[in-house]
Structure 1
């Protein structure tokens, strides 16, 4: 796993997240293109982090004026991809290396393909950002 250096802005968001939720974030990715922050946390803390009826997420979104997405981090590629694609049901995950590029092909249930991709490809983009950061995967394809 590559060494991840957090910016002061990412640290600020992580601290604010912890103040609001009581949950420590493992990582924070700022996605300016989609006006959101993505927080990676221990999957067991997901319910506490989100809060009753999404209260904690809404509170944080209002404070920072960005969308907030929370992902349960896993060391294992398969489990991480399943968390990234949730609630879409992942059938298979295949990593293909050609030249120096790694691509992960994620097969989901046909009725879940739209959910997996997300509006304007937001979910695929989120998966790509996280998988690049942690596992040096260059592209993500949902099939």
Structure 2
């Protein structure tokens, strides 16, 4: 099944633009997208493939600097045009066993993700915040309406 990339309709706010500029100037990594999640007091950065190490910096230096400057937790996900690879990246460090993306008869896409049982808590996150992040990103990039983690 082709992972059609959906980048139209993604709106980046002025605050998110500022975060991207700050992130890129401190880390040297190329940022594809930024989502500021005020409710969880976090900033989620989608970086280009192969840029995670650069983004984090030696010993997490870049992240610590940015978190001090913004007062928010920073989460970094490596982008991929392939929805399965992208979702695996978004769930790290959880070990993903399988991801099945299917299309329902009404045309809506859904993903069922099987993780290693010991990693289920990590995949879902405290109060479901990682699962919520994954659902948001799967819809934002690949128009996947529903994601379940088993």
TM-score over 0.5 for the pair: yes
Aligned with residue 13 of structure 1, among 15, 19, 39:
19
Select the residue among 96, 113, 135 that pairs with 1:90: 96
Unaligned runs of 5+ in 1: none
User: Is the helix fraction higher in 1 or 2?
Assistant: 1
SS at match of 1:44: coil
Deviation at 1:112, TM superposition (A): 1.2
Does 2:67 align with 1:65? no
- Find the residue that maps to 2:144 and give its secondary structure: coil
Contact conserved, 1:43 with 1:71, CA < 8 A, in 2?
Answer: no
1:115-134 aligned at under 5 Å gives the runs 115-134=122-141
How big is the shift at 1:96?
4.0
After TM superposition, where is structure 1 displaced by more than 2 Å over at least 4 residues in a row?
Answer: 95-103
2:47 aligned with 1:79, yes or no?
Answer: no
For residues 61 and 92 of structure 1, the distance between their equivalents in structure 2, rounded to whole angstroms, comes to 33
Secondary structure of 2:80's counterpart equals coil
Counterpart of 1:111 in structure 2 is: 118
Report the RMSD for the aligned CA atoms in angstroms.
Answer: 1.4
Alpha-carbon offset, residue 118 of structure 1? 1.1
Distance 2:13 2:100 in 1: 32
Structure 1 partner of 2:32: 26
